[in-house]
Structure 1
Amino acid sequence: MSEAPVAPRPGSADAAGPAPDGRPDPLLTPPRVRTGWRMLPTRVVAMCVVELQKLRHDRTELYTRAVQPALWLLIFGETFTRLKAIPTGGTPYIDYLAPGIIAQSAMFIAIFYGIQIIWERDAGILTKLLVTPTPRAALITGKAFASGVKALIQAVVVIAIAAALGVALTWNPLRLLGVAVAVILGSAFFSCLSMTIAGIVLTRDRLMGIGQAITMPLFFGSSALYPVALMPGWLQAISKANPLSYQVDALRGLLLGTPHHLALDYAVLVLAAAAGITAASSLLGRLAR
């Protein structure tokens, strides 16, 4: 005597199948896992959001980092505007300086970003991230663009201070969008440079020493404080190889309307960011050992 068939339980594998209209039942059919290049954008955005969530718990960094650019504009900018010691082609020096201070403050935020990834290594967080399906390039890109968003917040503060001091800035939305892109790309490069150095030196103390050793040469070896034409020949050569110079040129051209080379500036910033992501991604495994 044959046994009566047993009806499948709701939610079991036997119950899975198409809905009455012929389409797969979303409650019973698991979603397909994204693989390859399709998962990269979502993973990058997820990593960026995770990094930015830290600002909700501690906003002290944003307040303290606003002090230095304010001092540069209030003291250095106002003083040299009165002295008229640096020729800027008819542009008031404080106006000329403001885009350079935006780039400087963004670089100073990003250049020590490698300390955070070393801390994550020491806390065991980095090892957990590396065993997930997330590609290393997505991890680095997410962190790099989170650094860019932090720098963008800092740029808004500097622009507000500059506007309060009477700097003649543009308020064209398209130009301000270009400013945001330049700030994010420049910060992405410098944060990746920091993470690359972290993958080489492996310790926070060494990274701090190297970071402090390269920040001021990068800053003074750019067009942030004075025109490139005033530099000696050897410093002009360094300035042309310095991504900060191209970021400053783009910011100055967009915010003040001075002569610029936007196509070259953005091309250099994109290539620098891509090279930085590639280098930092290749050393991420070494850092986690």
Structure 2
Amino acid sequence: MSEAPVAPPTASADPARERGIGLLVQPPQPRAGWRVLPARVVAMCAVELQKLRHDRTELYTRAVQPALWLLIFGQTFTRIHAIPTGGIPYIDFMAPGIIAQSAMFIAIFYGIQIIWERDAGVLNKLLVTPTPRSALITGKAFAAGVKSLIQAVVVIAIAAVLGVALTWNPLRLLGVGAAVVLGSAFFSCLSMTIAGVVLSRDRLMGIGQAITMPLFFGSNALYPVAVMPGWLQAVSRANPLSYQVDALRGLLLGTPAHLAADFGVLLVAAAAGIAAASSLLGRLAR
């Protein structure tokens, strides 16, 4: 009795099943770092912003101080004409500086949060994941930028109610958002760098309170650089807040500005801040 011919093997009718079996035999190839890093940054930023959904009181309470600056300080100095502002009302001149100030005040104490995460054991769990330290810091820095951007919208709304002549050009407003985010990224990284050095919430709070007002008054937020004494002009030129204010003033009011130089300084400062904070993150977790 002759044997029946054996049919040749045919392709599987279920390609998905074949792929699944193939993954059991050979693991998938890892994605390149340049593809992983942006996704991790966005994920960390989203995690940070989730905290804002559960507690919005920070936004409301931090809106009080810039409102007082505009309502009391701005309107008073507009009436007495004590500070030369190049022919524009003083409250208009001051409004971009208050936007930068409110953003800085949010970002400069961001290191307290990372120390809290260290004490709660969250930071150690994040560091054992495959996420690069630079992605952790960048995500937190840009989350601070988004929080500051929300604060900037509140200050712009108050300024508009007070009659400040702001631009509503969408491209210029996008530039305003970029300047706020970059400036906040730098100051939040500065705070996280200090946290990596002092390792204590109390010390960080003291240093933060000690440097915020010198950074603010040592910038062009409240008065033009031309009226400052020589030594303060040198401080202002080394102060990243001055470049942020200059960019905001040029974009919102249309005053003469050096936007290319301003954004260049902010980009370099943010990159340097991310690098410094990333290098000290391991020390903070010990």
Once the two structures are superposed, residues 85-128 of structure 1 have per-residue CA deviations (whole angstroms, 9 ceiling, x without a partner) of 00000010000000000000000000000000000000000000
Quote the residue 1:190 is aligned against: 187
In the alignment, what sits opposite 2:36? 39
Amino-acid identity (%): 83
Which of 167, 170, 185 matches 2:167?
170
Given residue 136 of structure 1, which amino acid in structure 2 is its aligned partner?
R
Cα distance in 2, alignment partners of residues 27 and 225 from structure 1: 64
Secondary structure at the aligned position of 2:234 is classed as: helix
Identify the residue that residue 88 of structure 1 maps to in structure 2: 85
Shift >4 Å, 4+ stretches: 21-32
Q: RMSD of aligned C-alpha atoms?
A: 1.5
For residues 251 and 20 of structure 2, the distance between their equivalents in structure 1, rounded to whole angstroms, comes to 51
1:19, distance to aligned residue in structure 2 (A): 6.3
Taking the aligned partners of 1:262 and 1:59, their CA distance within structure 2 comes to 33
Query: What's the CA shift for 1:20?
Result: 3.7
- Are residue 121 (structure 1) and residue 79 (structure 2) matched? no
Per the alignment, residue 9 of structure 1 pairs with none
Aligned pairs for 1:207-246 (under 5 A) are 207-246=204-243
How far 1:33 sits from its partner (Å)? 3.5
| 1:74-153 matches, cutoff 5 A | 74-153=71-150
Shift of 1:22: 5.8
Query: What's the CA shift for 1:31?
Result: 5.5
Deviations 1:137-196, CA, capped at 9 Å, x for gaps: 000000000000000000000000000000000000000000000000000000000000
In the TM superposition, residue 36 of structure 1 has moved relative to its aligned partner by 1.8
Opposite residue 142 of structure 2, the aligned amino acid is F
Q: Which runs of 5+ in 1 are unaligned?
A: 1-17
Match of 1:66 in 2: 63
Distance 1:267 1:25, change over 3 A: farther
> What's the TM-score, normalizing by structure 2?
0.92
Q: How does 1:45-60 map to 2 (within 5 A)?
A: 45-60=42-57
> Equivalent residue for 2:282?
285
Q: For the structure 1 residues 19 and 66, does the alpha-carbon distance in structure 2 shift closer, same or farther, using more than 3 Å as the test?
A: farther
1:269 aligns with 2:258: no
